[in-house]
A and B are shown apart, each in its own frame.
Chain A
Amino acid sequence: MKKYICTICGYIYEEVLGVPEEDIVPGTRWENVPEDWVCPLCGAEKFDFKEEEADEEPQQSLEYISDEAHNKDMSSADLSALFSNLSKGCEKQYRIKESELFNQLSEYFSGRADIEEDKEFDDLGVMIKKDLDTGYPAANDSAKASADRGALRALVWSEKTTRILGSILQRYEKTQSSFFEKKNVFVCEICGFVYIGDEAPDLCPVCKVPNFKIEKIKRR
């Protein structure tokens, strides 16, 4: 009997145990778990699970860095995010005046950012795939080689969040609006994890922050 682990939040499906409360009887093989079954903790699809004993081979150090990486010039959208984060940083240090000023800069650059008029949800799916296939492996290798704990922490969180966004977009593509018609949509303010369900989880499954930091997105 095998075990399958959710790559988003770490939940483990054990074939020997099943999930009796969801009518998946003990001993149910992974391939017999319904295709529309989702992770009870974070809502990830079966696709996002991997067999637990599969040992990860140490990756060859990749020299790959995407083209954009050579361009250290920041776009207005990048500067907007950079300054909004510094604004949050000042707030945490109780520097209210500085926080407000950084926020003004962030707003200014947000207003100057390029408009993406002809892009759709599909385009986001393509970009997510590229991030997961090339961006994250390259960044993880660099961070490991530099023993940069801060960078590794941010990469662990954001790679998981990126996977869940990809999974949500795939479900949206298949079912359009119906899959969350009667559900709420939540975003973790700390790591960006998106959850679709009735109520926000107690703790964010990615960064483990308590749920008063998880925001409900209203339907307007």
Chain B
Amino acid sequence: MHAVRNIRLCTKDCLCLYVCPTGATDTENGQIDKNTCLSGCRACVDACPSHAISLVPDEYPPQQEKTDSVVKALFALAKSKTKQERIASDIAKRTEDPAARQLALALSMSNRVVAEDLIREAGYMLPQSQNVKNLLLSLLETQQPKDFPKEVVEKLLGIL
């Protein structure tokens, strides 16, 4: 567990700098140096008056198991939502009426958020989970169009 700072909450009281036993917080980029930070020490977390620092696990527990029936049912809904997102965004692109466009944009964004959340709970919550890695691998193993960003997938598999 190492400490990270949420720069949007940080009010520059610099108490972390004062309490850190190793100087891991004295960086110029506003982030805490992961290599110097003592795992689980939390002195800065407790000292920060703005609650801007928290401990992030270096390794996450395995993702919760999902039953087949839940995955199927969530994906059935998510597929309906991604389709509705597309329909709404295409209405937004072609309509001449500004109010209709505004409504269509709202519907498109709403459906995207809902689809993301349903898919997340269908077994794709943790970016570093095996499920995500398997999906990325399967993209590399299947035939893809010419413009497919293979190097992006490879980079991800390398650092996740």
List residues of A whose CB falls within 8 A of some B CB: 65-66, 68-70, 72, 74-75, 77-78, 80-82, 84-86, 88-90, 93-95, 97-98, 101-102, 104-105, 108, 112-117, 119-121, 123-124, 127-128, 130-131, 135-136, 138-139, 141-143, 145-146, 148, 150-151, 153-155, 157-158, 161-162, 165, 168-169, 172, 177, 180-181, 185-194, 215, 217-220
Contact = CB atoms under 8 A, between A and B. Distances in A.
Interface stretch (B20-28, B37-45, B108-116): B108-116
A82 B119 contact: yes
B83 A108 contact: no
Of the listed residues B77, B104, B147, B159, the one surrounded by the most CB atoms of chain A closer than 10 A to its CB is B77
A127 B83 CA distance: 9
B82 to A, nearest CB: 4
Contacts of A165: 107, 110-111
Contact of B87 (A101, A119, A158, A215): A119
A188 B149 contact: no
Nearest to B155: A101
B101 A131 contact: no
Interface in B68-119: 69-88, 90-91, 94, 97-107, 109-119
B110 A77 contact: no
B153 interface: yes
A98 B156 contact: yes
A17 to B, nearest CB: 32
Contacts of B98: 219-220
Interface size class of B (residues with CB under 8 A): 35 or more
A98 B159 contact: yes
Nearest to A189: B113
10 contacts: A69-B76, A70-B72, A78-B115, A121-B100, A141-B73, A142-B69, A158-B117, A177-B100, A192-B110, A215-B109
B127 A117 contact: no
B57 to A, nearest CB: 9
Contacts of A186: 106
Given A72-B71, A104-B152, 14 more contacts: A65-B69, A75-B82, A81-B119, A82-B119, A95-B127, A105-B153, A131-B80, A135-B76, A151-B66, A154-B117, A161-B110, A191-B117, A217-B102, A217-B109
